[in-house]
């Protein structure tokens, strides 16, 4: 992953020119002393299973990764827990309710969107759908597919963090 910190041409407070004292984290303005820490945005996704052991994948309907596979999920809103965000995002994207959540792991990611590349920390969970037959493509979802995760081509998965999570999921299933 390349340098995750953006660099300002001008201080956001005093508008003095220059990248600040370090160019890293935090940004420090050499003129006025303004300090800004760059933090990752939190995002969540889930390996949602059905009774046959298949996992629900979405075909992304928008960039980044349009047309590629992903797991249902999205960004955590301010004041929201990761678990609440995941349940909300799954309802919004595929119309499902989830049973108990099991934490799988987290991986950093880069999310390019409208000329800004966001640094994210993606948290992955495993959960069973309470009614798998109710799944349907909704918000920003082109289509849905229940698949054996062992047969998913990692090159068809939208994000590096999702590929890493898939590898961990498959390793944990093999135990």
Work out the mean pLDDT of the chain and round it to a whole number.
91
Say what the pLDDT of residue 1 is: 41
Q: Does pLDDT of 4 surpass 80?
A: no
Considering only 23-37, 52-66, 80-94, which range has the smallest mean pLDDT? 23-37
Which secondary-structure segment (H or E) carries 45? strand 41-49
Longest CA pairwise span in the chain (Å): 62
Omega before 2 cis (within 30°)?
no
Q: How far is CA 14 from the centre of its chain?
A: 34
Q: Provide mean pLDDT across the span 127-152.
A: 96
More confident call, 60 vs 3? 60
Sorted by where each starts, the structural domains of the chain and their CATH numbers stand as 1-38 (no CATH), 41-174 (3.90.79.10)
Rounded to two decimals, the pTM is 0.87
Say what the pLDDT of residue 17 is: 82
């Amino acid at each position: 992953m390349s340098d995750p910190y953006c660099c300002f041409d001008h201080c956001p407070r005093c508008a003095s020119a220059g990248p600040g004292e370090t160019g890293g984290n935090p940004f420090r303005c050499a003129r006025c002393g303004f300090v800004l820490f760059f933090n990752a945005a939190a995002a969540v996704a889930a390996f949602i299973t059905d009774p046959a052991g298949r996992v629900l994948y979405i075909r992304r309907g928008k960039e980044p990764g349009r047309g590629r596979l992903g797991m249902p999920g999205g960004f955590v809103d301010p004041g929201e827990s990761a678990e609440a965000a995941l349940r909300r995002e799954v309802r919004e994207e595929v119309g499902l309710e989830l049973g108990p959540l099991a934490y799988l792991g987290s991986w950093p990611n880069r999310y390019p969107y409208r000329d800004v590349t966001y640094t994210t920390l993606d948290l992955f969970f495993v959960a069973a759908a309470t009614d798998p037959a109710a799944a349907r493509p909704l918000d920003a979802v082109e289509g849905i597919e229940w698949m054996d995760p062992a047969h998913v081509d990692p090159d068809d998965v939208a994000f590096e963090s999702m590929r890493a999570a898939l590898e961990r999921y498959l390793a944990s299933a093999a135990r």
